[in-house]
Copies of this chain bind each other. A is one copy, B any other.
Amino acid sequence: METVLIHNISDYLDKEVKLRGWVRNVRSSGKLIFIIIRDGSGELQAIAFKPDLNEETFNKAKSLTLESSLEITGIPKKHPKKQDVFELAVTDIKIIQIAAEYPISKKEHGTDFLLTHRHLWLRSSKQWALMRIRHTVYYAICDFLNNNGFYRFDSPILTPNACEGTTTLFEVPYFDEGTAYLSQSGQLYLENGIMSLGRVYDFGPVFRAEKSKSRKHLTEFWMMDAEAAFVEHNESMQIQEELIRFVLRKVIKDNLADLNILERDVELLRKADAPFKVITHKQAIDLLRDKGINIGYEDDFGAEEETMLTRDLDVPLFIEKWPKSIKAFYMKRDPKDRNLVLGSDLMAPRGFGELIGGSQREDDYHLLKQRMIDEKLPMAQYQWYLDLRLYGSVPHSGFGIGLERLIGWLSGVKHIRETIPFPRMIYRIYP
């Protein structure tokens, strides 16, 4: 007899098979015991019918508790009414372990309780669906990049300097070398990688010691940074749009059942699969001022403004050409307006917030050096980065995607702490 996975069960109709897994739920009704089994690949209702079983087997079925582990033998049948749903007519049960009383029940639990029991909470349907979507999104991003000539190029976590400013760095005592800092972005390293490999990306954990408790902040999260030689601002935005579209289609194709478990409005996702909208930062400010917001042409957007700009949109929105004063030192100046940089932020529709930040990079040694001096960066530690502009500098662009925020938009969950197996926040480092 074959041991099979639930997601393959339709291949074994009317043949006796063995499943291995855990009890999601159990209820009895006279001569019938209904056992919901999950095995990591899916879930299925098994029915133990007393007249078909010996007494010992039926008693085993009766003794099952939530999350007990077992091997269950039976015959897969089509559900009498529901299409594409299958049931198992139980023929035998082998109990592996009767679980102790399970702490997570159907009643509402507080956030703190669930986070403290994250190791168990992950078994619930919605968390399981989110982890499956995470898997798809991760590899959809990798596949797109691999298909477009990018090489994986892992940037280091322990770094001697900071990319995004020094107030939110985690510090690590490092032997006799003093202090290392946990990476906030691999970008500077990737700009190096393109000089060897042409197009590169990394995709790993990054860290922000931010004392923010918003639903969009984690202290440890996963980031994909991509960088490409000979790619300029407009082509970079085009690559970003194609990448997001590729991921969107892949998730709708592979994870429709998971999106349904999460009650995501899939029609809204499908509507996002159309040409993205592009406006300049100045146009965005004008739109907000028309709506009565008091905001200046050199201001950044807060969460409220971001929501106003995208809440009525069906498609993602690029905001490009930002004032130099509010963007990072490495962004290339717009040759048409010295006060602007060739950077863009991509915002998800319907107020879900930022998905991507990107820019063309300054490739002129002297302009970049002056920007760094103006920003009072420790120049000795950045000499290697400046070197890249001395030895065969080329026009190049790159962008970064926060994995959890992208999953947040696709899945529709409100708090990104649910999109990562073990979230780390300012008051949360266990388990």
Interface residue ranges, A against B (CB under 8 Å): 5, 20-23, 39-41, 67-69, 96-97, 99-100, 102, 117, 119-120, 122-123, 127-128, 131-132, 134-135, 138-139, 142, 146, 149, 151-160, 170-177, 180, 182, 189, 192-199, 204-205, 207, 209, 211, 219-220, 222, 229-230, 381, 384-385, 387-388, 390-395, 420-422, 424, 426-431
Contact = CB atoms under 8 A, between A and B. Distances in A.
A20 B230 CA distance: 8
Contact of A119 (B123, B151, B384): B384
A391 B99 contact: yes
Contacts of A157: 157, 205, 207, 220
23 contacts: A5-B149, A20-B394, A40-B198, A69-B392, A119-B384, A119-B388, A120-B195, A122-B192, A128-B196, A131-B193, A132-B197, A155-B421, A155-B422, A157-B157, A158-B219, A160-B431, A174-B429, A175-B209, A176-B427, A204-B204, A205-B205, A384-B430, A384-B431
How many identical chains are in the complex? 2
A214 to B, nearest CB: 16
B40 A197 contact: yes
Contacts of A156: 220, 421-422, 424
Nearest to A380: B430
Given A100-B391, A123-B195, A195-B122, A205 B142 contact: no
A319 B146 CA distance: 36
A231 B187 CA distance: 40
A40 to B, nearest CB: 2
A420 B388 contact: no
Contacts of A385: 119, 431
A41 B174 contact: no
A421 B153 contact: yes
B189 A391 contact: no
Q: Looking at A132, A205, A393, A422, which has the most chain B CB atoms within 10 Å of its CB?
A: A422
A32 to B, nearest CB: 23
A16 B205 CA distance: 44
A146 B33 CA distance: 35
A44 to B, nearest CB: 13
A182 B158 CA distance: 10
Contacts of A420: 154
Given A138-B152, A174-B429, A220-B156, A196 B123 contact: yes
Contacts of A160: 429-431
Given A128-B196, A384-B431, A394 B97 contact: yes
A189 B421 contact: yes
A151 to B, nearest CB: 5
Contacts of A199: 40
Contacts of A170: 158, 172-174
A393 B97 contact: yes
A288 to B, nearest CB: 34
Nearest to A146: B139
A197 B21 CA distance: 10
8 nearest A-B pairs in the assembled complex, by CB-CB distance: A40-B198, A384-B431, A69-B392, A156-B422, A67-B392, A99-B391, A122-B196, A67-B391
A246 to B, nearest CB: 17
Given A41-B149, A151-B135, A422-B156, A172 B171 contact: yes
Given A20-B230, A421-B153, A429-B180, A96 B131 contact: no
